[in-house]
């Protein structure tokens, strides 16, 4: 049986791969990384070093475009409800690579989702039928993200920069169209240069497409779009934003909310 781990460069996909390697060995193990071309340099470093630590074959694939080029080509700015970046640069790309090499009866696919995310695991399994998908971190012993970081460090893997500055994921340079107001507020505080890059790219698409935004503000019981520029200006004048609106990076899962 072949074993393919959807490898993201994050600590969870590494930990999932370690469990797969421990259970099945590395002879038929592939670590499949789909590159969005906007990852943080230290995420690439961790991805490659951790792949050596796991063993098996690391395969890096890419569409060749960045998330911003996909938004431009699709004429749609991604958000938490619709994600052309994840769909094109991750899901469809990986699906094609897998289907060209395996059949549903000779491969098991693995993801780094853990025991706190059973709803995401079930959605993903349903989407991939008839392919078999497993999530090793949903099984005992049940580990928290802090446990995974400690495990990686014991294996000699230095923690990624993005985790060190408080990001909950290590994708897309620290940003993500599925993050909320609080997630981008954290990014602004931790990495103003990356925030500025996201703000600039969003504004370029707004100039082309109209009043489109990544974020929505739900305060006061009213939902309205809010641009990254507006969010930054509100924070800079001391206005409080919902810091608990973190959102979540979920490149392999289909969004469940549809824009009317």
Query: Looking at residue 253, what is its pLDDT?
Result: 63
Query: Looking at residue 255, what is its pLDDT?
Result: 62
User: Is the entire prediction scored with pTM above 0.75?
Assistant: yes
Minimal CA–CA distance to 95: which of 109, 81, 113, 114?
109
Minimal CA–CA distance to 14: which of 150, 129, 127, 126?
150
CB 22 within 8 A of CB 110: no
In sequence order, which residues have a C-beta less than 8 Å from that of residue 141 and are 6 or more positions away?
none
CB 212 within 8 A of CB 77: yes
Residue whose pair of structure tokens reads 């930054």 in the numeric block: 232
Strand partners, 224: 217
Q: Is 98 exposed, middle or buried (0-12, 13-18, 19+ CB in 10 A)?
A: buried
- CA dihedral of 2, 7, 10, 14, whole degrees rounded to 10: 20
Nearest-angstrom CA–CA distance, 200 and 195:
9
Residues, the chain, total? 260
Nearest-angstrom CA–CA distance, 5 and 13:
7
Nearest-angstrom CA–CA distance, 49 and 125:
29
Measure CA of the first residue to CA of the last residue in the chain; give whole Å. Answer: 43
The structural domains of the chain, ordered by start, are 2-164 (3.40.50.620)
Tens of each residue's pLDDT in the chain, 260 residues? 999 999 998 999 999 999 999 999 999 999 999 999 999 999 999 999 999 999 999 999 999 999 999 999 999 999 988 999 999 999 999 999 999 999 999 999 999 999 998 888 998 898 889 999 999 999 999 999 999 999 999 999 999 999 998 888 888 988 999 999 999 999 999 999 999 999 999 999 999 999 999 999 887 778 889 999 999 999 999 988 877 777 766 677 666 543 32
Query: Looking at residue 25, what is its pLDDT?
Result: 98
Query: Looking at residue 218, what is its pLDDT?
Result: 82
Residue 4, SS3 per DSSP: strand
Signed CA dihedral, 36, 38, 40, 42: sign only: positive
Element (H, E) at 226: strand 224-226
């Amino acid at each position: 049986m072949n074993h393919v781990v959807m490898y993201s460069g994050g600590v969870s996909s590494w930990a999932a791969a370690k469990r797969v390697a421990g259970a099945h060995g590395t002879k038929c193990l592939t670590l499949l990384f789909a590159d969005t071309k906007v990852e943080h340099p230290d995420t690439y470093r961790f991805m490659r070093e951790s792949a050596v630590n796991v063993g098996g074959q690391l395969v890096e694939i890419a569409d060749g475009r960045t998330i911003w080029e996909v938004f431009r080509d699709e004429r749609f700015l991604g958000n938490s409800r619709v994600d052309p970046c994840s769909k094109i640069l991750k899901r469809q790309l990986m699906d094609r690579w897998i289907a060209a090499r395996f059949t549903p009866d000779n491969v098991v696919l693995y993801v780094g989702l853990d025991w706190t995310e059973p709803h995401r695991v079930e959605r993903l399994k349903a989407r991939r039928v008839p392919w078999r998908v497993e999530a090793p971190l949903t099984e005992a012993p049940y580990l928290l993200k802090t446990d995974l970081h400690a495990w990686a460090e014991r294996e000699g893997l230095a923690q990624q920069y993005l985790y060190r500055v408080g990001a909950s994921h290590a994708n897309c340079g620290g940003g993500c169209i599925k993050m909320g107001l609080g997630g981008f507020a954290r990014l602004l505080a931790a990495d103003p240069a990356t925030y500025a890059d996201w703000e600039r790219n969003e504004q370029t698409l707004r100039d082309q497409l109209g009043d489109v935004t990544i974020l929505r503000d739900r305060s006061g019981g009213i939902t309205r779009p809010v641009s990254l520029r507006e969010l930054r200006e509100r924070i800079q004048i001391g206005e409080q934003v919902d810091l608990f609106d973190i959102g979540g990076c979920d490149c392999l899962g289909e969004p469940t909310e549809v824009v009317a």
